[in-house]
Structure 1
Amino acid sequence: MSLQPIEPDDSRIEHKTAVLNGLNYHYLYAVPPGGQFNATVFLIHGWPDLSLGWRYQIPQLLGMGLRVVAPDLMGFGGTDAPKVPPNPINLYGLKRASDDIAALAKHVGAEQIILGGHDWGGFVVWRCAQWYPKLISHVFAVCTPYTPPHEQYLSLEDLVKGPLPQFGYQIHLASGEVEKSVNDEQSIRQFLKGIYGGRGPNREEPFDPHKGVLVENLPIIGDSRLLNGKILDYYVKEYSRHGIHSTLNWYRTRRANWEEDQGLLDKKQIHTPALFIQATFDSVLKPEMSQSMDQLIPNLTRGEVASTHWALTQKPEEVNAIIRKWLENQGFGTRSSL
């Protein structure tokens, strides 16, 4: 079934704000027609994305009788972007994001939530399910495999030299170099077009997983099929609020996340019912990275879509079908409601 994606000024959603643990968050809020719902789903985006990155999934979830809450993460869009320093980098970490999700659930009156994530949002939801197992009744991630907490610290540089060379881009994103070139509305627009699949006239690439953002190619990048028109305009406006620097703080949290993960070393297994959707052509979060998940998540369902990293918008009907089937098998929604 083809569903009309949510737009920024869509009547099916409300733009709301809430103060969570002292900082202001923007979030999308939606309830099914009639206002009745049988469960609440939280949707957590990644980089460089926004809550509206779930625009193809929100209508389906509403059609299943579910309430939807989708926040902008710290440093993104309408959510605060505290400067580091003087603030600690932990504000952009997985533990803080988990704490803020729990605070937002309390704010909207949800005693339990279904929690879904993509990209950085995927890392967040796995950790949130560990920090708040009573709050998270079900958890799902698109593209992002579960990685357990580790006793020993492994730096990003060692990770890139070793098992995950395709994470080299994260070194560039953390370096402070990218925001020197991506620093106004026009360069943000070109950057977003490129990350979402736009190419130069001779197929010039704007991004290399091993190197990072190829800033010299950004001025010649053409349109993206995945992010264009009024949606692109909205993203440019939202990313221009704080600039791109605050969103890149997420790539500066590796040690902080490891330190806070030490509180989860006895919780490496996730017993919450879980769904993982693999994008088979993801050039960073590759299929082999999820091989150990079945041992760590006993109640795991797997699905896959033939897409790049941007599965939510590149193959929305396939992603939606997997999520719908899983939720129905867990007792949410009915086929007739679709």
Structure 2
Amino acid sequence: MPVTNGDITLRVEVAGDGPTVLCVSGWPELASSWHNQVGFLTSHGYRVAALDVRGYGGSSVPTEVERYTLKELAGDIAAVASALDDEPIVLVGHDWGAPIVWNAAIRHPDRVRAVAGLSVPYRPPTDMPLIDIFDQLYAGRFFYMLYFDRPSVPEADFGADLRGSLKRVFYALSGDAPLNHWLADALRDAALLPLLPEPPEGPLSFMSDTALDALAASFERTGMVGAFNRYRASRLDAKDSADIADAVVTQPSCFIAGERDPVRAFVPGVDGYADAGAACSDFRGSTIIAGAGHWVHQERPEATNTALLALLSSVE
């Protein structure tokens, strides 16, 4: 079903009947990445929606960086929630989808019943842009977000072999790859793809070739400017979020992540998954899944689904 938010149209897939759950994907995934959750949750009596986030798939793909701030994307979630249900709904977000749903819960509390963040815990906004924080943490060194911030560069690099680039990224961030190889030590001006390990022949353990082909075909159609613009828009989030500085997520919430997710090591010497609920006033717990990497909902769907069902059952 299409949902509009101003001049933005969002493609939303809906299945099942019951209390509504909205799944929000991150970089570089589509609504289809939630197929394991949709089947499981609908079989347990939930109505499950998944959307192509702004910039992806069948949704609008504006080219302006400022159209991809967390404030704008949280507004998309509120519009979809209102179109889906008169009552507040449960949000589930992965990767950039997690900050999007955390922000939606704060900015639009009347639309959000509970929230689950996958791979990225909630951290209150700061007055320094995220991209500048990593610029300081990785002074003179390569960090992928700083590479994505380069105008047109990642689009060209990925576009040279789109399917191969996506496969390399999915493998490198998974629990199957060498631990934290995504964070390889290199000079600041390096390119990402040559730093990543070679993926295995044949399909990935958690993604079929058919699914990878469909994702690559989608980006062949839309380009990747929307996907990378979310990273570039992180420069604007600090100013945009001044009105919610130090905000706490008050809805029932939980955190789910893979034990081997490189996001855990983004800040050198710090376990990024420690105290994941520190800024959530009704935190129902963290689930760190052994052996899983960044794509936790695809790599370990059974454990992820069990954790999601626990949150859903606790708020019925």
TM-score (normalizing by structure 1): 0.80
Superposed displacement of residue 285, structure 1:
3.3
- Partner residue of 1:234? 214
1:214 correspondence with 2:192: yes
Q: What amino acid is the match of 1:189?
A: R
Inter-partner Cα distance in structure 2 for 1:216 and 1:74: 28
1:172 correspondence with 2:147: yes
Q: Is the Cα contact below 8 Å between 1:178 and 1:215 reproduced in 2?
A: no
Runs of 4+ residues over 6 Å off in structure 1: 163-167, 217-220
Q: Is the Cα contact below 8 Å between 1:174 and 1:252 reproduced in 2?
A: yes
Q: Is the Cα contact below 8 Å between 2:147 and 2:192 reproduced in 1?
A: no
- Partner residue of 1:319? 304
1:280 correspondence with 2:264: no
Q: What amino acid is the match of 2:171?
A: G
SS in 2 for 1:208: helix
1:195 correspondence with 2:172: no
Tell me the number of residue pairs that the alignment of Structure 1 and Structure 2 aligns.
300
- Partner residue of 1:335? none
- Partner residue of 2:41? 61
Q: RMSD of the alignment, in Å?
A: 2.9
1:43-77 residue CA offsets vs partner (Å, 9 max, x unmatched): 00011111111111111111121111111111111
Match of 1:129 among 91, 101, 105: 105
1:11-43 residue CA offsets vs partner (Å, 9 max, x unmatched): xxxxx32222211211211124xxxx1x11110
Q: Is the Cα contact below 8 Å between 1:190 and 1:218 reproduced in 2?
A: no
1:328 correspondence with 2:287: no
CA separation of 1:204 and 1:255: change in aligned 2, threshold 3 A: closer
Inter-partner Cα distance in structure 2 for 1:180 and 1:241: 15
1:88-108 residue CA offsets vs partner (Å, 9 max, x unmatched): x23111111111111112223
Which consecutive unaligned segments of at least 5 residues does structure 2 have? none
Q: How does 1:18-97 map to 2 (within 5 A)?
A: 18-32=3-17, 37=18, 39-84=19-64, 89-97=65-73
Q: What amino acid is the match of 1:191?
A: S
Inter-partner Cα distance in structure 1 for 2:11 and 2:214: 14
Inter-partner Cα distance in structure 1 for 2:130 and 2:311: 36
CA separation of 1:319 and 1:204: change in aligned 2, threshold 3 A: closer
Q: What amino acid is the match of 1:192?
A: L
Inter-partner Cα distance in structure 2 for 1:293 and 1:204: 24
TM-score (normalizing by structure 2): 0.86
- Partner residue of 1:12? none
Inter-partner Cα distance in structure 1 for 2:114 and 2:312: 9
1:243-289 residue CA offsets vs partner (Å, 9 max, x unmatched): 12221001101221111111112x62111100111321111234822
1:297-327 residue CA offsets vs partner (Å, 9 max, x unmatched): 1211221112100111111111111111222
Match of 1:298 among 262, 278, 281: 281
Inter-partner Cα distance in structure 2 for 1:165 and 1:146: 28
1:197-228 residue CA offsets vs partner (Å, 9 max, x unmatched): 179xxx999x7335686334789754422223
CA separation of 1:226 and 1:20: change in aligned 2, threshold 3 A: same
Superposed displacement of residue 163, structure 1:
8.2
Inter-partner Cα distance in structure 2 for 1:163 and 1:302: 28
Percent of paired sites with the same residue: 24
Q: What amino acid is the match of 2:314?
A: N
Inter-partner Cα distance in structure 1 for 2:198 and 2:156: 18
